[in-house]
Every structure is written in C-alpha cells, then in structure tokens.
C-alpha cells in the first residue's frame, strides 16, 4: 500500500463498501569525571520499537521504549537514526531533529528505569525490511567518549521491521495534482486543487484477499467488498498535509454484480483515519492497520456546504461499474 514509503499520520480509506515517561533522576557526571561505562565494565540498555510493520506511504508515529539496564549509571541521552528512505517529520520532546535523525538530551534515566521517546516519520513507498539506528550515552548532553551505553544484544532485533503494502509517489506542480492506483476490480483517483511546489501524492491499492490485514470493516452491518485505496498528500519535507482531497473510486461490474446491492445508491465508503470524524451513524469503531490504530466508520453524504470527509456522489457508468466520489482529509484508507 502507500503505509506510507508513503508515508502512517496517514489516513487510510477503504473504498465503498460495501515522554517520555518520567524516570528517577540521577545527577549527571561532573565535567571531567571518568565514566564507569567502559570496555571492561559495560553499561547496557534495551529498546523496543512500535509499530514494526508500518504501511508504505504513510506518516506513522513510532515509539521507542528505552530501558536502562545498568546497575549504577544513569542513561542521559539518545540519538535515533531513521532507516533509509524514511523521513522524520516531528519528534516529541527531542532537543533537535532532522529528516534523518532525532536527538534526545537530559533524559536522566535511572538504573532499571525506562523512558518512552516518540517521533513521526513518513514511510517510503515500496516494501521490504528496514532498520533503525540508535546510540545512547551516560552524559545528558550526548558528549564525551568512553561513556557510551551498549545495546543489549537480546533487543537488537527490535530495531528491524518490515514495510507492508506498496505505493507510488506522484510529484506535483503548483495547482491541481492527481494520482491513481488500481487492482483487477477496483481503481481510485485522488485530486487536490491546492498543491504547492514540492508537494507529492502517494497512492496505493491493497488487494484484500492477498493482504487481509487491510480488509478493515466499519461498525454496523455493511460489509465492504472492494480493495482498499490509500492516499496522502505530502509537502517537500515529507510531512503529511491536511488539505481536502477529492477521491473517486470505481468498482468493477464483476464485483458489483456479485454483491447483494447491485444499485449504485446502496454503496457506502468505509473510511479509516487517525483523525476523528463524524460517521454516517453512531460512533466510530477502531481497527489496527500496519500496527497503527485507526478510527473507522461509514461516511455520511455531503451537505450543500460539504465538509470532509463525506460522500459527494454515487452512480453507474455505461459499463455497469459503480463510481463513488467522496471528500477526504489527510492520509486515510477507504473501500466500499
């Protein structure tokens, strides 16, 4: 899918369908003090990363739980490096960050205590494995030599993951920009009229039979049938934009005729987003896609003064395909 590659906070659409944690504080070593973390007396730390299977082409929030396994020394600072192709777009509590790394200072994590660091990154298009880089030091300012903590070999594998789905990026020129994706039974096109220089659109179509983890449902009796269309608009830095997007989904005649609702008016959009929205009826449900929790629900019809997300139109073309047009925000998933 476009997991967004694309880039996770990515919002996903399924077409019609049917902190850091506060740790006890120890004083940092005084300037010039010799560290007890050495080649003969190592200080270890463990790390756990979530999620480990982000969706291509999405903006995803990653959490790094750091545990200080040293018996006497505090863990003072951490630098996290992004995998190849990932772009860091924010880092909560970080002293500084770039698209490729984030630096967290003054952590003062006591022995046997832990802290949680959070950053958001855009996941590149394409599937495959990846690995985060991480360094930790005893000093609170990430300075000095001989005070580096060693990663516990038992948790080294937690820095690796696998991008799920696939997507493509379409560079935009200022003004109107469109991109599409398709499968054997479903095709989708997303358009924005507010693209700026450097923007790009990521799109993907996930086959719900071969990738059942994307076959999310919405509260109620409606059962989506089409493959899942994912899309997002990103700026030049790789950060997702919240512009209103117009999305058109075409469901092939073969899928329409095999459904229990062959008329165009009965098709709904089952929508998944990390941002709260008002569903057609009731309250949103929740689904986990690519290790990320999404709110889900059928989209309401647009009013005379439409406010995304909502369904604008439903009809059939001469070939008997159902076509649904809806407005969306951000970086979602949708299917019908």
pLDDT of residue 162: 94
Specify if 23 maps to a domain. no
Structural domain ending residue among the three candidates 163, 194, 222: 163
Give 50's DSSP letter.
E
pLDDT range class, residue 336, cuts 50, 70, 90: low
Specify if 48 maps to a domain. yes
pLDDT of residue 51: 95
Structural domain ending residue among the three candidates 110, 140, 163: 163
pLDDT of residue 265: 93
Q: What is the pTM of this model?
A: 0.80
Specify if 70 maps to a domain. yes
CA atoms of 205 and 183, how far apart (whole Å): 6
CB 189 within 8 A of CB 178: yes
The DSSP line for 175-233 is: EEEEEEEE-SSEEEEEEEEEE-TT-EEEEEEE-TTT-GGG----SSS----SPEEEEEE
Please identify which residue in the block is written with the tokens 């990154």: 121
CA atoms of 120 and 209, how far apart (whole Å): 30
Burial class of residue 100 in the structure, from the number of CB atoms within 10 Å of its CB (0-12 exposed, 13-18 middle, 19+ buried): middle
pLDDT of residue 60: 92
CA atoms of 218 and 1, how far apart (whole Å): 20
pLDDT range class, residue 165, cuts 50, 70, 90: confident
> What average pLDDT does range 95-107 have in this prediction?
97
Residues 307 and 202 in one domain: yes
CA atoms of 238 and 247, how far apart (whole Å): 21
- Is the pLDDT score of 1 beyond 60? no
pLDDT of residue 198: 95
Structural domain range at position 50: 44-163
The residue length of the chain stands at 336
- Is the pLDDT score of 79 beyond 80? yes
Structural domain total, the chain = 2
> What average pLDDT does range 197-202 have in this prediction?
94
pLDDT of residue 41: 63
pLDDT of residue 329: 85
pLDDT digits (tens, 9 = 90+) for 120-142: 999 999 778 999 999 999 999 99
Beta-bridge partners for 29: none
pLDDT of residue 42: 78
Average pLDDT over all residues of the chain? 87
Token pair in block for residue 29 = 């070593």
> What average pLDDT does range 317-333 have in this prediction?
88
Residues 88 and 105 in one domain: yes
Token pair in block for residue 222 = 């409606």
Residues 248 and 292 in one domain: yes
pLDDT of residue 120: 95
CA atoms of 60 and 90, how far apart (whole Å): 10
Lowest mean pLDDT among 36-45, 96-105, 153-162: 36-45
CB 8 within 8 A of CB 330: no
CA atoms of 109 and 137, how far apart (whole Å): 11
Share of the chain above pLDDT 90, in %: 71
pLDDT digits (tens, 9 = 90+) for 174-189: 999 999 999 999 999 9
pLDDT of residue 86: 96
Beta-bridge partners for 272: 12, 333
Residues 156 and 186 in one domain: no
Half-sphere exposure of 91 (CA within 13 A, CB side): 21
> What average pLDDT does range 185-209 have in this prediction?
94
Burial class of residue 262 in the structure, from the number of CB atoms within 10 Å of its CB (0-12 exposed, 13-18 middle, 19+ buried): middle
Residues 261 and 130 in one domain: no
> What average pLDDT does range 52-58 have in this prediction?
91
Q: What is the CATH number of the domain that holds 131?
A: 2.60.40.10
Residues 313 and 174 in one domain: yes
Structural domain ending residue among the three candidates 118, 143, 163: 163
Residues 219 and 153 in one domain: no
Residues 179 and 328 in one domain: yes
pLDDT range class, residue 262, cuts 50, 70, 90: confident
- Is the pLDDT score of 11 beyond 50? no
Residues 182 and 309 in one domain: yes
Share of the chain above pLDDT 70, in %: 86
């Amino acid at each position: 899918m476009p997991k967004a590659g694309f880039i996770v906070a990515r919002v996903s659409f399924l077409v019609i369908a049917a902190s850091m944690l506060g740790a006890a504080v120890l004083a940092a070593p005084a300037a010039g003090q010799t560290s007890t973390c050495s080649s003969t007396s190592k200080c270890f730390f463990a790390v756990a990363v979530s999620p480990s299977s982000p969706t291509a082409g999405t903006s995803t929030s990653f959490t790094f739980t750091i545990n200080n396994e040293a018996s006497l020394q505090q863990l003072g600072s951490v630098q996290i490096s992004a995998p190849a192709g990932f772009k860091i777009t924010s880092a909560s509590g970080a002293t500084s960050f770039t698209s490729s790394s984030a630096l967290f200072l003054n952590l003062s994590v006591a022995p046997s205590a832990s802290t949680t660091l959070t950053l958001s990154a855009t996941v590149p298009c394409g599937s495959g494995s990846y690995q985060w880089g991480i360094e930790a030091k005893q000093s609170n300012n990430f300075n000095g030599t001989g005070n580096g903590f060693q990663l516990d070999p038992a948790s080294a594998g937690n820095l690796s993951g696998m991008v799920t789905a696939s997507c493509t990026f379409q560079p935009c020129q200022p003004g109107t920009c469109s991109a599409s994706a398709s499968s054997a039974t479903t095709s989708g096109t997303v358009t924005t009229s507010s693209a700026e220089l450097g923007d790009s659109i990521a799109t993907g179509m996930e086959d719900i039979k071969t990738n059942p983890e994307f076959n999310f449902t919405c509260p109620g009796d409606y059962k989506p049938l089409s493959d899942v269309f994912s899309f997002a608009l990103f700026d030049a830095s790789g950060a997702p934009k919240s512009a209103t997007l117009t999305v058109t989904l075409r469901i092939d005649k073969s899928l329409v005729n095999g459904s229990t609702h062959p008329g165009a008016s009965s098709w709904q959009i089952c929508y998944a987003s990390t941002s709260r929205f008002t569903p057609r009826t009731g309250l949103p449900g929740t689904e986990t896609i690519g290790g990320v929790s999404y709110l889900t629900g059928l989209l309401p019809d647009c009013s005379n003064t439409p406010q995304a997300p909502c369904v604008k139109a439903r009809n059939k073309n001469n070939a008997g395909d159902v076509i649904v047009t809806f407005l969306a925000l951000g970086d979602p998933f949708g299917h019908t």
